Amino acid sequence: MTGTEIDLERFFEQDMVEFLDRKRALQNTGSVDNNSLSDPSEMIDALAKNNVALASKLLENTIDKYNHLSSADVYKEIYFNRILELTRLISEFIRLNPQPSKLKEDLELLHQSRQLDQGPIDKITVFESRHEAREEKLKLQRDRELTFREHLEDKLKIINKNLFLSIRKKDVPTSIKYYEEMKICFEQYPPSFAERKKELYNDLLAYFMQLQKLRKDVVEDAKRHEEDTKRLLASVKDNAQKYLRANEIEGIINKIKIDVKNSDFNAARAKIIELKHIASSIPDEYKHVRSILNAKIDIINQRVEFVKRLKEKGAQAPVTQGQVMQHG
């Protein structure tokens, strides 16, 4: 297995773990029920765990429920007494934990308003201005999330198109690049759009499975290509032996050297003709080899003729075999 294949294996294994973790996170989301009456045991448990955010939420929920009851409702006083009980628990907690917190701020606002000193009044309004500010903040946040969502959706359209095309082209590196970009969009998608985020999760999972299949296909294609290359090289080698006849050509050239040494120039010319015949039979797919062989044959022919003339004139210096031809 190559280094690239190992990296891909790690990529897919790590990504599957991330998917499973993400799926559990999406399935385990929950929220506090705003309409339930906070039991003192819930407040005690939240304070015992130093969960001031939950304690503050429980107090606000109880006051909100109280405010929605009419003055004639028999539960009005029950809720009021529950609020008094919760504030008593919170006061004791703040006494032992005086550090700044929203819970401490809530308690101070209640004491400063003195609304709880008046008995079961129609509404406890001390938190209303803050509630309005919070609602305005939430509205601005929703508007920003909508704008950001539109930006992500435009981006996802382009990513989806490019990812689909790169998978169809079997381009693994490019596919992984766009897949990673899609994952980033998924992570950035506002959690308030839970249904759409689950759709994106399913899209990512589908692409993940496609990428796994693509990786396997590419590896198999590479193996097939390697096998085809080996077969092609073997075929080329066989053709070279069949059409180029390299060993036969070398043998003929060696015989020509012997003929020249023995002054048998007619035999040498006959073998040169035989070389030309072999050269002419080489297929066009090896025409570059044919051209080289023809050039070498011309040189051999010229040197044979040169030696023949020297011997006919009775040259004094002996002609060595190395002077006859330097065919390499």
Q: Give residue 3's Cα distance to chain centre.
A: 16
Each domain of the chain, given as residue ranges in start order, spans 3-28+142-219, 40-126, 245-324
Top-confidence residue, 157 or 231: 157
- Residue-wise pLDDT tens digits, 196-252: 999 999 999 998 888 888 888 877 877 777 776 676 556 555 555 555 667 788 888
Please state the pTM of the whole predicted model: 0.39
In the prediction, which pLDDT does 28 show? 46
Share the mean pLDDT of the chain: 80
Q: Which residue has the higher pLDDT, 143 or 290?
A: 143
- What b-and-e string marks burial along 287-312, b requiring 16 or more CB atoms within 10 Å of the CB? eebbeebeebbeebbebbeebeeeee
**Comparing 50-64, 126-140, 148-162, which segment has the lowest mean pLDDT?**
126-140
Cβ neighbour number for residue 146 with a 10 Å cutoff: 13
pLDDT, residue 236, reads 53
Pairwise pLDDT comparison (155 vs 72), residue with the higher score: 155
Confirm if 190 and 150 have CB atoms less than 8 A apart: no
For residue 269, give every residue at least 6 positions away whose Cβ sits within 8 Å of its Cβ, in sequence order, or none: 304
CA 28 to chain centre: 27
Rounded Cα distance between 125 and 54, Å, is 21
Distant-in-sequence, close-in-space partners of 324: CB < 8 Å, separation ≥ 6: 257, 260, 261, 303, 304, 307
Give the confidence band of 181 by pLDDT, cuts at 50, 70, 90: very high
Q: How many helices (H) and strands (E) does the chain have?
A: 12, 0
pLDDT in tens, 43-98: 899 999 999 999 989 998 898 899 889 888 888 888 999 989 999 999 999 999 99
Comparing 45 with 279, the larger pLDDT belongs to 45
Q: Write the DSSP assignment of 21-79 as a string of letters.
A: HHHHHHHT-----TTSPPPHHHHHHHHHTT-HHHHHHHHHHHHHHHHTS-TT-TTHHHH
Per-residue burial over 107-119, b if 16 or more Cβ lie within 10 Å, else e, is beebeeeebbeee
Please determine, for residue 316, whether its predicted confidence score (pLDDT) is greater than 70. no
Q: Which amino acid is located at 14 in the chain?
A: Q
How high is the pLDDT of residue 178?
92
Query: Confidence class of residue 127 from pLDDT cuts 50, 70 and 90?
Result: confident
pLDDT on residue 88: 92
User: The dihedral of CA 254, 259, 261, 265: what is its sign?
Assistant: negative
Q: How do residues 16-41 score in pLDDT, each as one tens digit?
A: 555 555 555 544 443 334 345 657 88
Q: Higher-confidence residue: 86 or 14?
A: 86
Of residues 110, 107, 85, 83, the one with CA closest to residue 95? 107
SS3 for 189?
Answer: coil
Residue the block writes with tokens 């120039």: 265
